[in-house]
């Protein structure tokens, strides 16, 4: 499935699933999809002709190992037959248990 076709409704059943994430050096790490939530888009400037969204915006929240913290960027996520292809993730918080990453779909 193409990323443009993903919706919040399609992502929700994947909550709790672990994904192998391909790293830039050829290695892999594991991340778990913790949540899939609606995402509110804020516009800083009013637009007379705002584009009509193709889907309702949403965000995915993954947790990974405490180290290393992956820099924001594109990573391929795979789990058995499920794949997000390459998605852009951003580390948003970290503690001794792990790192939380966010991927926003608009």
Which residue stretches of 1-106 are H helix? 8-11
pLDDT, residue 29, reads 96
Q: How many domains does the chain have?
A: 1
Per-residue confidence (pLDDT) for residue 48, from 0 to 100? 63
Report how far Cα 22 is from the mean position of its chain's Cα atoms: 14
Q: What share of the chain is helix, strand, coil (3-state, %, to 5)?
A: 10, 50, 40
Q: pTM of the full predicted structure?
A: 0.86
80 lies in a domain? yes
Q: Using CA atoms, how far apart are residues 80 and 46, in angstroms rounded to an integer? A: 43
Give me the tens of pLDDT residue by residue for the chain, a chain 106 residues long. 577 788 999 999 999 999 999 998 999 999 999 999 999 876 666 666 666 667 789 999 999 999 989 999 999 999 887 777 789 999 999 999 999 999 999 8
Cα of 68 vs its chain's centroid, Å: 18
pLDDT at 46 (0 to 100): 66
Return d(Cα 96, Cα 79) in angstroms, integer: 25
User: What's the confidence (pLDDT) of residue 52?
Assistant: 62
Residue 49 lies in a domain: no
Q: Which domain holds residue 11?
A: 3-37+63-105
Does residue 77 fall inside a structural domain?
A: yes
Residue 22 lies in a domain: yes
**First-to-last C-alpha distance (Å) of the chain:** 16
* Residue 43 maps to a domain: no
pLDDT, position 11: 92
Burial class (CB within 10 angstroms; exposed 0-12, middle 13-18, buried 19+) of 5? exposed
């Amino acid at each position: 499935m193409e990323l443009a076709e993903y919706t919040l409704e399609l992502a929700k059943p994947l909550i709790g699933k672990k994904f192998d994430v391909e790293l830039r050096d050829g290695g892999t790490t594991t991340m778990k999809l913790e949540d899939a939530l609606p995402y509110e888009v804020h516009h800083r400037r009013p637009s007379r002709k705002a584009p009509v969204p193709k889907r309702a915006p949403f965000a995915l929240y993954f947790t990974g190992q405490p180290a290393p913290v992956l820099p924001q960027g594109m990573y391929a996520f795979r789990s058995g037959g499920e794949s997000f292809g390459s998605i852009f993730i951003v580390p948003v918080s970290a503690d001794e248990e792990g790192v939380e990453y966010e991927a926003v779909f608009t």
